[in-house]
Amino acid sequence: MSASMDNLSSDGRTLWGEAWRRLRRNRLAMICLWIVGFYTVLALYGEGVYRWHQWRDITPSYQRANLDKQYLEPSPLRQPFAAERVDSQTGETVVLSGWSRLRSGMSNLLTHPMGTDGLGRDVFQRLVQGTRIAYQVGIITSLIAIPIGVLLGCLAGYFGGRTDDFIVWLYSTFAAIPGLLFILAIAMVVGQGLLGVYLGIGLTMWVGLCRLIRGEVIKHKDRPYVTAAHALGVGHTRIIFRHILPNVFHVVIVTFTLRFPAAIGTEVFLSFLGIGVQGEPSWGIMISNARLRLWHGVWWEMAFVTAAIFFIVLAFNLLGDALRDALDPRLREGGESS
């Protein structure tokens, strides 16, 4: 009898493992994953800088006005390797050469690589802090939205009937409120600032996920493996969370990847309007500040911030699409009878 085991596929692979293998084959997805990873490192670095300043109880440089350094261009445009340099203390012109020229050039390159803004603050540092805020918003809103969406979606899909009616009514009501107005209303209640952003985005974002999960659960609840679980005497809670949920969890992952940049976009927009982040360098606030001097040729703040937003949104969206392809069971090799 054990001889019949020979035709087992050669090595043990989970379905998640296979999905990862498929994702690896998609070059664009891997590039996007690297970009997302890069932003994540940037956000963690920003968090470190923020925490360090908080711990030392000093105002970080990206918050401090330094009017001597207003509107410095990005360092490569400031002729960092110039042979002459004005000594800041004596006011004399110093001629540099050779090794010291290279050294001062390198240090010039590293100071304000993306220039400074109207208050002389380093654009790069502020961009990093913006990344930190964006990640915070993306993660915390997901932490609010995913549990609500998954739980309600599972309950609605699994139990059907009255439960389903109520939950569908609930999310239809939420979906019918114009998103921005809802967020504004929440900002009115809890006050401006990050809390309002978290709640506003989090409490609207669960709707889409809930609807998707409900649909998937409805699809799965009459599958033979669920019937088998019923016949074995497995309880409802266990069937929902141990049997159905793992089989529909790919929806959560894909939705998370697609909603994350959407949440970031909303945060930027709210901060741009002035009802979002307060007193911290969010991307939205940076854009709002940058537009004032844009027509005077101060392009760098606007350019770098929009590029940062562009790449993170693009990377997350492409990654989300690739994940959907990789995780979709219908494309699974060997085919499932369904």
Partner 1 sequence: MSEASTQRSPLLEVNDLHVQFGPRRKPVRAVDGIDIVIYPGESVGLVGESGCGKTTTGRAIMRLLDVNAGRIQFQGKDIAPITGSALKDYRKQVQMVFQDPYGSLNARMPVGRALEEVMQVHRMGTRTERRQRAAQLFESVGLDPAYMDRYPHEFSGGQRQRIGIARALALQPQLIIADEPVSALDVSVQVQILNLLKEVQQQEQLAYLFIAHDLAVVGYICERILVMYQGKIVEAGQPSDLFSNPQHPYTQKLLDAVPDVDQALLRRSGASE
CB closer to partner 1 out of 199 and 239: 239
Q: Where do the H-state alpha helices sit in the chain? A: 15-25, 27-56, 98-110, 123-159, 161-176, 179-190, 194-220, 224-231, 236-238, 245-273, 283-293, 300-327
What DSSP state is assigned to residue 75? G
Q: Which residue, chain included where needed, has tokens 């956000």?
A: 43
Calculate the alpha carbon distances from 40 to 35, 36, 131, 209, 282 in Å: 9, 6, 8, 24, 16
CB closer to partner 1 out of 51 and 238: 238
Shortest approach of partner 1 to residue 17 CB, angstroms? 9
d(CA 137, CA 139): 6
Shortest approach of partner 1 to residue 221 CB, angstroms? 13
CB closer to partner 1 out of 48 and 329: 329
CB closer to partner 1 out of 23 and 234: 234
d(CA 218, CA 230): 16
Calculate the alpha carbon distances from 320 to 17, 149, 151, 164 in Å: 17, 18, 22, 28
CB closer to partner 1 out of 11 and 87: 11
CB closer to partner 1 out of 205 and 327: 327
Shortest approach of partner 1 to residue 238 CB, angstroms? 7
Shortest approach of partner 1 to residue 259 CB, angstroms? 23
Shortest approach of partner 1 to residue 226 CB, angstroms? 8
Q: Please, how many CA atoms are within 13 Å of residue 101, restricted to the half-sphere of its CB?
A: 10
Which tokens in the block code for residue 112?
A: 């304000």
Shortest approach of partner 1 to residue 16 CB, angstroms? 9
Summarize as ranges the residues that interact with partner 1 (CB under 8 A).
1-2, 4-5, 7-9, 12-15, 223-225, 227-235, 238, 242-243, 246-247, 329, 332, 334, 336-338
